[in-house]
Structure 1
């Protein structure tokens, strides 16, 4: 069993990643979930996390982290995820508890409390994780890997070169990629291939309470994605969890990857040294392809399992 800590900014795809991890408790022990300003403001994404966790009666400790990036001003984006950051479903008011300490200290305590090493799953701008690594250098010895959704070697989505999570806080991403910790990077190179088709979304409707929640999330997300040219819906963040559950679904290549923090068109670009005699040690497994059908099956089975658990 892997011990994981999820840092996120829900987000439709964050929600599906969290649900899939919860459904696979025999493989993934979630020792905590933390939030950071990203898809929307910290308050909104934290409320979204509370909504998802409460919906399935989870008991995972939840902590709030940084409101915005290390250097730049935070500007929320409504384009992909709507005003709430997770538009589509209606949630009743929830009283899901929040840990009364900052996420960074919470992450440190949770990771240090486990005898084995912990994998950090980064589904958001990497601000919390970067501060953790800089504030507590001893934590490096306790981290097995960082599995993150972010970046892209061939293109971006915020700019021609930069993907959203990295673009929001490239200084934090630079710290993480240069931490000498093993990185698993699910960037746009693979996540845009990890798409669920409209017919597959429709099949979730009224199937069970959690499957129907996923339908509502994906229905909105699919409609929203059309403004960016997508017919199907890439479930970006789920890739970072799916790799931990079933790495055989993916293929990738190890590279030395770092992040452009300069002002200009390249800001936030994750770039790889592809030279045959690269001077830097390879630090990142860059996921490049995915078994799309197997990926969707993994999600559907997770939702079915949660449906069964709620029915009991």
Structure 2
């Protein structure tokens, strides 16, 4: 299988951490750099979390850069309900000797994309502020991108509001910039995000492991089954953002379709990704004057096989 050279853009909370663990261990993924943005936690905390997760994974010296501290227009609205104030649900990890890159997130992304010896996939797992700034300030990166794969949005319901998913809701203007950039875009949204889960027996097995990465994966999965305020829920086991990486490495396990998509920027539906799944558009004339960008939307998956793909990579840490 071909290697996927990628750059990651993260706001490292519990599921970004699972995605990083998956990406750095998978033999067909080459992580060239990681940019950080405020979202699940403050920017400073996100950078620290990212370094600590890389330590747990015994990852090489992947450059990590700090980026936007707030959305383009909106005020910062940190998500603490499921990730906690520290982003990792209170999981205490050892200190780290890793230090952030001297480059900004946008500078690091540009460097790693433009200087690469092949086209690169930009995987966004956070509010897309850094990515929007990259595309605006350095439009030349478009020629060096294979595509942008982002976790966010939904073709159905939302989570932070009735219609909006958190990452897009946090910075809908940035998401609009990405979708309408002209770069091939794939949206891995709530339609599959909420369904890709790992059975509890594997989470408990990982949590009991002597390997730091496996143990962290197990603790993260178990922590995602309770709220950060301490109130318990039944085990959930969603791998969340990590599912976008599973899709990258195993697209055959997912069903996608190309649909015109736009982000709602106003009113009660602000932050909604409106995915036009109609076979016949009665407003075709208006759409001809103001066309929507068509993107690839992930709509369905083989849950059992996709979960096993994630489990196999976590198993490999102790192999």
| Superposed CA RMSD | 1.9
Matched, 1:254 2:255: no
- 1:296 corresponds to: 307
Label 1:75 to 1:242 Cα distance change in 2 as closer, same or farther (>3 A): same
Q: Secondary structure of the equivalent of 1:45? A: helix
CA distance in 2, matches of 1:230, 1:140: 44
Q: Secondary structure of the equivalent of 2:279? A: coil
Q: Secondary structure of the equivalent of 1:3? A: strand
CA distance in 1, matches of 2:37, 2:144: 22
Where in structure 2 are the equivalents of 1:132-143 lying within 5 Å? 132-143=134-145
Q: Secondary structure of the equivalent of 2:268? A: coil
Whether the 8 Å CA contact 2:12–2:50 is kept in 1: the answer is yes
CA distance in 1, matches of 2:219, 2:313: 16
Matched, 1:265 2:257: no
- 1:31 corresponds to: 32
Q: TM-score, normalised by structure 2?
A: 0.91
Deviations 1:283-310 (A, max 9, x none): 32111112112122122211122234xx
Q: TM-score, normalised by structure 1?
A: 0.93
CA distance in 1, matches of 2:193, 2:73: 27
Alignment gaps of 5+ in structure 1: none
Label 1:215 to 1:83 Cα distance change in 2 as closer, same or farther (>3 A): same
CA distance in 1, matches of 2:82, 2:191: 19
CA distance in 2, matches of 1:227, 1:90: 19
CA distance in 2, matches of 1:239, 1:39: 17
Whether the 8 Å CA contact 1:88–1:219 is kept in 2: the answer is no
Give 1:215 deviation, angstroms: 1.1
Label 1:30 to 1:191 Cα distance change in 2 as closer, same or farther (>3 A): same
Matched, 1:245 2:246: no
CA distance in 2, matches of 1:304, 1:275: 42
Q: Secondary structure of the equivalent of 1:307? A: coil
Deviations 1:243-273 (A, max 9, x none): 11010111121101110111x2100000112
Whether the 8 Å CA contact 2:202–2:218 is kept in 1: the answer is no
CA distance in 1, matches of 2:185, 2:233: 30
Q: 2:128 aligns with which of 126, 132, 138?
A: 126
Deviations 1:15-45 (A, max 9, x none): 1111111111x31111101100010110111
Q: Secondary structure of the equivalent of 1:154? A: coil
Q: Secondary structure of the equivalent of 2:182? A: coil
- 2:101 corresponds to: 99
The ranges of structure 1 where at least 4 consecutive aligned residues each deviate by more than 4 angstroms after the TM superposition are: 225-231
Matched, 1:236 2:240: yes
Q: 1:20 aligns with which of 14, 17, 22?
A: 22
Deviations 1:212-257 (A, max 9, x none): 1111111111112997987523222012111110101111211011
CA distance in 1, matches of 2:314, 2:295: 30
- Range moving further from structure 2, 242-251 or 52-61: 52-61
Alignment gaps of 5+ in structure 2: 282-286
- 2:165 corresponds to: 163
Q: 1:276 aligns with which of 275, 279, 295?
A: 279
CA distance in 2, matches of 1:141, 1:205: 42
Give 1:109 deviation, angstroms: 0.9
- Range moving further from structure 2, 287-296 or 46-55: 287-296
Q: Secondary structure of the equivalent of 1:125? A: coil
CA distance in 1, matches of 2:193, 2:231: 18
Label 1:15 to 1:141 Cα distance change in 2 as closer, same or farther (>3 A): same
Give 1:191 deviation, angstroms: 0.7
Matched, 1:48 2:84: no
- 1:57 corresponds to: 58
